[in-house]
Each structure stands twice: as structure tokens, then as C-alpha cells.
């Protein structure tokens, strides 16, 4: 009986390994150990599920809520951001735009959507703060698609550039970035309903 259970477990593990789609390794220009380069693993794209609903992304410093809806055949996206490291927070309109103030200085955010399909949302990301002679900006091209069973979403920040300005000195960081979002509802939840 024990041998039969072992055989069944081994067969199940082999079947799962064959059925699981491969994860793509995206090479970067970042140096790793020795002559190696850092890789980003990206889950495969799927047509399962739909974008419409409420999504969340959380890391140690931030919480993002994203609402996606389809209007006249085109996707619309609204984002809400809350910093866990400070007081910064904003919410966009359905055009993906927000203007708010941080320590008295204006900040603009825009997620501008481009030509998208039912399975892929593309656009540009722009987040800019200017405070006198200092500032910060983030810009990227965004490619977003559903992964695995359609209840996770991958947001690939292509050509991501972060710039910190202090006086006449710009410090520029260009590094690949990928966020994995989780769908928490098919409906548009209130921010207070998100399970942060």
C-alpha cells in the first residue's frame, strides 16, 4: 500500500510539472554574481478571466488598488496609492490622472492607456514631483496582461527610469521592474473593502 501511495504521488508530481506553463526569464543589464546578469521571472500570458474588477498590489512600502472596467469596448483604469513609509497618497480619475500636493509641492501622476486589447493593456506611466530645485520622476511604458488562471496580473514597466534631482545634479536609475497584482473581486470595491 505504501509503494502504491508513493507511485501515485510521484505520478501526480510529474503530471503537474508537465502541465505547468514555463516561466519566462527576462534578462537584464544588472550585474549579478561574477559574470552573470540578474534575471526577472515573468509568468506566461493567458486569455483566462477578464480585466474588469478590483486588483491590488502591495509591497513593504506601498499599497496600490486598481479598478479596471470596459467602456465602449476600451479598458479604463483608476488607481489609488497609499505610502506605508510616509503620508503620500492619491487617487486617479478614470482617465488615470491625479494631481495632489506633498509638503506643499504639486505632484502629477498619469497612467495613460494606449491601443489595448481584451487580453493586454498598454500605456505610459508618469509620476512627477517638483519642489523648487529638487524633484523626482518615474516614467515607463507599461504592458499589462493576465497570468496563470486569469486572477493574477503582470504589469511590466518597460524602459523604467527613476530620476532624483537635487539642484543641478540628476541621479538616474534605469532598472527593470515587474509587479504582480491579485484580483480580489469582479466588482469595483471601495478602498476600505480592500484586504490590506
Predicted local distance difference test score (pLDDT) of residue 28: 65
Count the residues in the chain.
196
Question: What gap in Å lies between CA 40 and CA 30, rounded to an integer?
Answer: 10
Question: What gap in Å lies between CA 92 and CA 100, rounded to an integer?
Answer: 10
Predicted local distance difference test score (pLDDT) of residue 3: 55
Predicted local distance difference test score (pLDDT) of residue 176: 86
Per-residue pLDDT of the chain (196 residues; tens, 9 = 90+): 555 455 444 444 444 443 445 566 666 666 666 667 667 778 889 999 999 999 999 999 999 999 999 999 999 999 999 999 999 999 999 999 999 999 899 999 999 999 999 999 999 999 999 998 999 999 999 999 999 999 999 999 999 999 999 999 999 999 889 999 999 999 999 999 999 8
Question: What gap in Å lies between CA 88 and CA 85, rounded to an integer?
Answer: 8
C-alpha cell recorded at residue 105: 509641492
C-alpha cell recorded at residue 184: 480580489
Contacts of 190 (CB under 8 A, 6+ apart): none
Predicted local distance difference test score (pLDDT) of residue 42: 82
Domains: count for the chain = 1
Question: What gap in Å lies between CA 28 and CA 37, rounded to an integer?
Answer: 6
Predicted local distance difference test score (pLDDT) of residue 52: 97
Q: Is 13 inside a domain boundary?
A: no
Predicted local distance difference test score (pLDDT) of residue 59: 94
Range of the structural domain that residue 84 is part of: 23-190
Question: What gap in Å lies between CA 109 and CA 86, rounded to an integer?
Answer: 17
Residue 51 three-state SS: coil
The closest of 102, 94, 63, 67 to 81, measured between CA atoms, is 63
Radius of gyration (C-alpha) of the chain in whole angstroms: 20
Contacts of 23 (CB under 8 A, 6+ apart): 41, 42, 43, 44
Q: Is 179 inside a domain boundary?
A: yes
Q: Is 195 inside a domain boundary?
A: no
Amino acid at each position: 500500500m505504501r509503494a502504491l501511495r508513493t507511485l501515485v504521488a510521484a505520478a501526480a508530481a510529474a503530471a503537474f510539472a508537465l502541465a505547468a506553463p514555463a516561466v519566462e526569464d527576462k534578462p537584464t543589464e544588472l550585474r549579478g554574481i561574477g559574470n552573470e546578469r540578474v534575471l526577472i521571472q515573468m509568468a506566461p500570458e493567458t486569455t483566462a478571466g477578464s480585466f474588469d474588477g478590483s486588483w491590488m498590489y502591495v509591497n513593504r512600502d506601498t499599497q496600490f488598488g486598481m479598478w479596471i472596467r470596459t467602456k465602449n469596448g476600451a479598458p479604463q483604469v483608476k488607481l489609488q496609492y497609499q505610502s506605508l513609509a510616509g503620508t503620500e497618497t492619491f487617487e486617479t480619475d478614470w482617465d488615470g490622472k491625479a494631481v495632489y500636493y506633498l509638503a506643499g509641492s504639486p505632484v502629477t501622476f498619469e497612467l495613460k492607456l494606449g491601443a489595448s486589447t481584451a487580453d493586454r493593456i498598454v500605456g505610459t506611466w508618469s509620476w512627477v514631483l517638483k519642489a523648487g530645485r529638487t524633484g523626482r520622476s518615474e516614467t515607463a511604458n507599461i504592458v499589462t496582461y493576465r497570468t496563470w488562471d486569469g486572477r493574477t496580473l503582470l504589469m511590466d514597466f518597460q524602459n523604467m527610469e527613476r530620476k532624483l534631482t537635487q539642484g543641478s545634479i540628476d541621479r538616474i536609475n534605469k532598472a527593470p521592474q515587474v509587479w504582480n497584482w491579485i484580483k480580489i473581486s469582479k466588482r469595483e470595491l471601495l478602498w476600505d473593502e480592500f484586504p490590506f
